[in-house]
Each structure stands twice: as C-alpha cells, then as structure tokens.
Structure 1
Amino acid sequence: MTNEQLLRLVSTQPYPLFLMTLSGSHLYGFASPNSDYDLRGVYILPLKEVIGLYEGRDTIETTIKLDGQEIDLVMYDIKKFLALLLKKNGLILEQIYSPVLVQALPELEELKDIARKCISRHHKHHYYGYAQDQWKLLNRSEVGSIKNLLHVYRVLLTGLHLLRSGEVETNLLCLGEMFQLTSLPDLIARKQAGGQKAVLDKGEIALHRAEYERLLQELEQAASVSTLPEGATLAEKRALNDLLIRLRLQYSS
C-alpha cells in the first residue's frame, strides 16, 4: 500500500489528526505479502465536544477496506493518548517514536522531548504482561503460530532494550542482531513466506520455551537495575497539560 493511499484514508477522518502511524507487522519487520495494515492514530476533539454535557468519543476503532486491502484503524483523542503515556503504556511510546509516520503535526517533536523523560523502569510491567499474553496464545494448540512467537520475541526484546537504553526499538530484525538471537531470521522468513498459515513444527514450542523464560528473567533483572526514573515528574505532567490545551484551542476553530 502506498503512502498516497494511506494519506487518502487520513483525509477522510472526522477530526484533525495529531499523529498517524503504521503499526503491526509492517512496523515490526515481519510483514507477509498478504498482511493486513494496522494504523494507529491520535486525533483532536474540538472544544465543543469536551466541555459540554455530552463528550465526544475518545476512541475510534474500525476496519476499513481500501482498494481491496483491509486496514485495522485504532485512534485515540489526544487527552486519552497522553493519559495512557503517563500510565506507562509501551504501545504509546512506540507510536510516538515510530519511524513509519503517515502524518504528524510539528508538535510531535515537542511531545518526543517530553515523552523521553516519561520513560520509566516500570514500563517493564507492560512488556512483561504483554509477552505472557502472547505466549498463552501461542500455546493454545499443539502447533503454534509463528506470528505469535515473533510477537513474543518482539515484545520481550523491545522491553529489554527500552529498560537498558531508554530508547524505543520495535524492528525485530534489528533487535535480533542486538541480542544475537540467531533463530529469528529463519522464523521471520518462514512467517513472510507462509503468512497467517505459517506454523511451528511439532515440538518447536518446547524448544523456544527456555528462551522465553530466560528473556522474562532478563526483563525482571533489567528493571531492578535500571537507571530510568520511577515515572513522569510534575514538570512533565505540566508540560503535557500545556501541550494538550494549546492543541485543543488551536484546532477547535
């Protein structure tokens, strides 16, 4: 799908957009030719929809067909988005620092500076819980999905890298090189060739269990020794509040 097609979709949205990024397997580096597109966005509700008795929607979720391609679209109002950032949601960081931007306002650079100071050792909880959920999905059948296994690795390695460096990296090939996981290129190639139908050979899940448990332990250890702060300070919260007010006023005319 071309950027022109994605921009055409952006132009049909009902509210001014602060940010629109490409997520999912296209961001993580293991998209198959038939992979759906996952778009994640942030919009700005006008004042009349936030100060009245009846408030506008703070979340929009829909599936769209564009030129025969299925697109999963999830968007948050800017207030909810910033609130989730303060709750140490790793997915919010991944959107803010995404290298695959469809559209963004100039104020994104300001948000990046503030968000960097909100990265906390407690982001461990997001990635630890997310990895456990993906592992449970993987083990629902004797023959697990390679896609689920790749998500397990992606989540754990992104979390580890974040806790150790304070930087967001979501591309699994890059992460695999950093952490010297030599099995990942083959798994990614198998997923890209087989798409959703790519499954692990019988017994492979057991082989990956030890690596999964090792990385979980490393994530725990990384959080315990991390030099990252506990969370956003009052200064960051005030800066986010000021940004929210300015955006709300500027884009409500």
Structure 2
Amino acid sequence: MKEHISSVLRQIEQEFNVKILHACEAGSRALGFHSQKSDYDIRFIYLHNLEWYLSIDQGRDVIEIPRHDTISIHVDPLLDVSGWELRKALRLFRKSNPSLLEWLHSSIVYKDDFGIAEKMRALEKEVFSVKPYFYHHLNLAKSNFKNQSKSDDADLKPYLYMVRSVLAAKWAAAHRNIPPVNLNDLLRSLPDSPVKTEAMNILAIKKSGNSISQVKNSILHEYIKSELVQMESYGKHLSENTSDHTESLNSLFQLALEHVWDPEILVNQNKEPDCT
C-alpha cells in the first residue's frame, strides 16, 4: 500500500502541477487504533508554482481525492487523500489549528521534502497557542460523551477518541507543546490504573478488527465525565498567544517558493499578457 500511496502522491503532483512538501497519515492509523481494514487518511501540504500565485484571482486551496477531485490512475477505495495549499496551511498554523499541527507530528510520514515541515515545527515554540488546541479537544470529547450518554448500549470505539482528546488537551496544557499523536504514547503518561487498563483493552480489541460494541464502559465513562468538568474549569484560565508571527511565516512561504520552484523556468518575464 505504501508504494501505491507514493504513486498517488506523484500523480497528484503531475496532474495538479504542484509540489507536495509533506504527506502523512492522519486518521486511525496515525492515532494507533486501526485494524487491517481501516482507511488510509492521507493528508498533505503542497505548493503551487510562482505563476499560480501571481494571478489576480484567489485559486482553490485544497485538493480532495476522491471527494471532490480525481486523478487519471486508480486510487484504492481505502484511500482518502486531502491536501492544503501552503499559504492556507501557514494561516492555519498561525491560529494553532489542531489538525494541521497533528499532521506535522504524525509518526507515519509518506513524503517530507524541501525541509518546510521541519521549519514549521521549529517555529512552533513561538507560534503555538495552547487555548485553541485545548478547546478543540475538549469540545470533541464533550460531543462524543454527549452521544455516548444517550444509551446504555454503546459502541466503545468513541471512548478511544474521548480518552485521546482528554489526554491530548491535558498534555498541551501541562507541557505547552503538541502532544504525541498516537494514543499508545499518550496512555504511557497515565499511571497504572483501571482507566489505563480499560483503555488498553479496548485499544487491543479495536486493532484486532473485532467488534467492540457492548454495554457502556462505566470506568471510562466516569473518568471522562470527571475530566470534562475539571477541564471546563481549567480552560477558563487559559490565555491565548497573541504574538503576531505573520512576518516569519511570510518569510517561510517566500523561502519555499524560492527553493522549491525555479521562477526563471515558470515565468517568462518577456511574455506579453493576452488581453483579447
């Protein structure tokens, strides 16, 4: 599958005339609770050539295969491939967008060229704001918990997402940086306890591919319920990073254009515009 993914990424570059700077796994495989039948959620950051950015109109800044876009080669049905143009990615990076930050820290990387992702990670210490990241995961956990509370019979898989969101939010608040993406790594931060044991058991069942629908897990349910109350209170005291890092991010974007593409090849300075 990895070879097929590489072929799909190369085809995207060719057919959309872009350079993919970073491509990674972002779904259950990155989170560490996939089975053999799980989808591959491929996410990437890409750069157009200089001529594209010199247009007076703002172009589309996402590529989504197969939801919106297509390529001329077969794409395995298990693949969900989506990318953000670099300027869009940098604007979201400036806002500490959790999805983008977790792309940059995924342990499953399919492509990482030109050092742009590395430079973004180097800027995290200055750019990262705990508050939006914290509330993103708090709200995810609250939404899943509300759904789980509606019935005594529940699919246990959402508990993995809830536990991960709780641990990720608490990690970010405590360490002021991006937590591990993989749930296994986050669970290691928990002391041995019934909560950790239950989460590990559900994780093992999920990865085996077996069904994990059963009576609601009371240990995890009460743990998450308690944590959500504490997190709601704690979140009120978080402050945002209000520093403006636009200049640094502009410089990174300009550096990418300079090094990834050769402007002399892409733009003919003597070409007369077609005004017909």
TM-score of the aligned structures, taking structure 1 as reference length: 0.85
2:252 aligned partner: 243
CA distance in 1, matches of 2:235, 2:24: 28
CA shift in 2, pair 1:68/1:80, >3 Å? closer
CA distance in 2, matches of 1:117, 1:221: 26
2:212 aligned partner: 198
Report the alpha carbon displacement of residue 29 of structure 1 after superposing the two structures with TM. 1.0
2:154 aligned partner: 144
Report the alpha carbon displacement of residue 32 of structure 1 after superposing the two structures with TM. 0.7
1:44 aligned partner: 47
Q: Are 1:115 and 2:114 counterparts?
A: no
The correspondence of residues 126-145 of structure 1 with structure 2, limited to 5 A, is 126-139=136-149, 142-145=152-155
Q: Are 1:124 and 2:134 counterparts?
A: yes
Report the alpha carbon displacement of residue 148 of structure 1 after superposing the two structures with TM. 1.7
2:79 aligned partner: 71
Identity percentage of aligned residues? 21
CA shift in 2, pair 1:243/1:170, >3 Å? same
Report the alpha carbon displacement of residue 224 of structure 1 after superposing the two structures with TM. 6.0
Kindly provide the CA deviation profile for residues 40-78 of structure 1, in whole angstroms up to 9, marking residues without a partner as x. Answer: 111112233333233321112223896755111121011
The correspondence of residues 26-37 of structure 1 with structure 2, limited to 5 A, is 26-37=29-40
CA shift in 2, pair 1:76/1:174, >3 Å? same
Report the alpha carbon displacement of residue 38 of structure 1 after superposing the two structures with TM. 0.6
1:168 aligned partner: 179
CA distance in 1, matches of 2:75, 2:53: 35
Report the alpha carbon displacement of residue 140 of structure 1 after superposing the two structures with TM. 6.2
CA shift in 2, pair 1:142/1:213, >3 Å? closer
| RMSD (Å), alpha carbons | 2.6
Q: Tell which structure's C-alpha radius of gyration is larger.
A: 2
1:219 aligned partner: 231
Kindly provide the CA deviation profile for residues 156-197 of structure 1, in whole angstroms up to 9, marking residues without a partner as x. Answer: 2112112211242121122112123221110111212345x4
- Helix, strand or coil: the match of 1:12? helix
2:202 aligned partner: 187
* Equivalent position amino acid for 2:166 in 1: L
- Helix, strand or coil: the match of 2:153? coil
Q: Which runs of 5+ in 2 are unaligned?
A: 267-276
